[in-house]
Amino acid sequence: MFEKIATLLRLMRIARTLARHDALAAFEEERLVPGQLAAVAVWWGRKLSRRNTPGRPGEKLARALTELGPSFIKLGQFLSTRADLLGEQLATDLAQLQDQLSPFDGSLAKSIIEKELGKDLDQLFLSFDLDAISAASIAQVHFAETAEGEAVAVKVLRPGVEESFRKDLKLFYSLASLLEKNRPSLRRFRLTEVVQTFHDTVRLEMDLRMEAAGACELAENFADDFSYDTPTIDWDRTSRRVLTMSRIEGIPLNDRSALLAAGHDLEEVLTRAAAIFFNQVFRDGFFHGDQHPGNMFVGEDGRLVAVDFGIMGRLDKNTRFFLADMLVALLRENYVKLAEAHVTAGLIPANQSIETFAQALRSVCQPIMGKDLSHFSFAKMLGQMLHLAESFDMTIQPHLLLLQKNMVMAEGVSRSLDENLNLWSLAQPLVEDWILKNRGPEARVREGITTLSGSLEKLPRLINNLEAASEKFSQSGLRLHSETIQDFHKESSGTARWAFILAIASLAFSIGFTVNFILFYG
């Protein structure tokens, strides 16, 4: 009872904040008001609502979430990837949500650093600026100089942020559960799973050692590539709540006038950006998950430099192959193959009509086919494709949402620098080369042989396991005469040898058939 009252009071405070910004419309328009407690809170908040507040519902909601604090800001940014759930315009507005808060007192940052690293601040740094250079929902950054004379940036977790997120996440889980209970049509969006994904993302982001590890992994992936750089991590001055890294200097990637004044060629900058993005996604399957302009800079030497590695994305080989197959089918305007790629990847149920889904894909993709890629809007096409989800019970994969969000960001930066250039047209040669090497006929032959070879390697162990199982079964499951068991082993050994020979012959035939089939049909 007391818990319900506490939840109601919490919801009423949230509703009041939303009402002050006239942001309740965003929930009411989407009918996202679950349960009696939430309905009461929204009714109460509506009574206090300010009418005629300027802006779209999503813009009003973004302002309200900013006031509600760190976990709501992060939630809004996370939900900006869910155009399928919120609608394209609302998701676009939330994508503009700025993760900027007032800094906490520098003396608190000093105390956290000393407690985490076990040393006095003057033992760690020659100088330390108590005024933060930037402050976000989870941490803030201070400039400092190490005892060795290195210029560094020190990121410090906000005091109490972990407990604050813990309480808010409990509320988010409750609301997601209520939505799934009261709106059966929303169950396919797996809202509780969405909150769990958000929870996992935030949990990793609040461990600054994970961010340090992400920066190091990116640096290793681009060790031989001069075009991309990341800060060097000072592991001796890094812990769960403190991250120390080399200080970087550069021009924000979207500052067109500053880049031109510094003599940078915008097409070269965008070409580098396209190659970096492509290599992270397709080559490495490990990409910077928050590539907004505030985290990307152009150095004096022309290199692109990234900061803030709290959110990183991973794509396994099968997912990358799906993306490649999807691109090939799209470029060939083979919408049946495009639909089949979605089924193979598990994005839509196998019981859906492939032909009807292919027709729906054609309705979205056909209008842009044959047009100059410089005028192609991936963001627009993406929004339309996500709208197909409801009609075909499409399952939205969380690991793809982060990629989609970053593609939209990248497109926005590209157009802000030069509206006649587009990252996709610049990256097209790289994409085509990767597809040829990894999804072309020869690659598929290699893949088939590898798969079959793996099966061959497992056969002897499988046969041994079967023999062991038969022996155990004969001894404990069936009480056979000892002579019968001996006869059984003689027979099974011979059978096993013949089975192994037949399996090798069968697999050899399969390899030959696969090679000839792929080479013939491409």
Burial 403-419 (b: 16+ CB within 10 A, else e): bbbbbbbbbbbbbebee
User: Pick from 277, 273, 303, 302: which is nearest to 418 by CA?
Assistant: 273
287 close to 258: Cβ distance less than 8 angstroms: no
Vertex 8: Cα angle to 5 and 13 (nearest 5): 130
12 close to 39: Cβ distance less than 8 angstroms: no
Give the tokens for residue 184: 């059966």
Q: For helices 161-182 and 191-205, what crossing angle results, to 10°? A: 170
Determine which helix (DSSP H) or strand (DSSP E) holds 237, and give its type and residue range. none
d(CA 103, CA 142): 10
d(CA 144, CA 131): 11
User: Pick from 252, 242, 329, 326: which is nearest to 295 by CA?
Assistant: 252
22 close to 53: Cβ distance less than 8 angstroms: yes
Determine which helix (DSSP H) or strand (DSSP E) holds 279, and give its type and residue range. none
Which residue's structure tokens are 């013939």? 520
- The residue type found at 339 is A
d(CA 303, CA 287): 17
Q: What are phi and psi of 316, to 5 degrees?
A: -75, 170
d(CA 264, CA 270): 11
Q: How many CB atoms lie within 10 A of CB 314?
A: 13
d(CA 216, CA 200): 21
d(CA 180, CA 519): 49
364 close to 388: Cβ distance less than 8 angstroms: yes
d(CA 86, CA 429): 35
- The residue type found at 456 is L
Determine which helix (DSSP H) or strand (DSSP E) holds 253, and give its type and residue range. none
- The residue type found at 213 is A
- The residue type found at 53 is T
- Annotation says 229 is catalytic: no
Strand partners, 297: 252, 305
Catalytic residue among 84, 168, 290, 325: 290
488 close to 480: Cβ distance less than 8 angstroms: yes
Q: What are phi and psi of 101, to 5 degrees?
A: -130, 170
* Residues labelled as active-site residues: 290
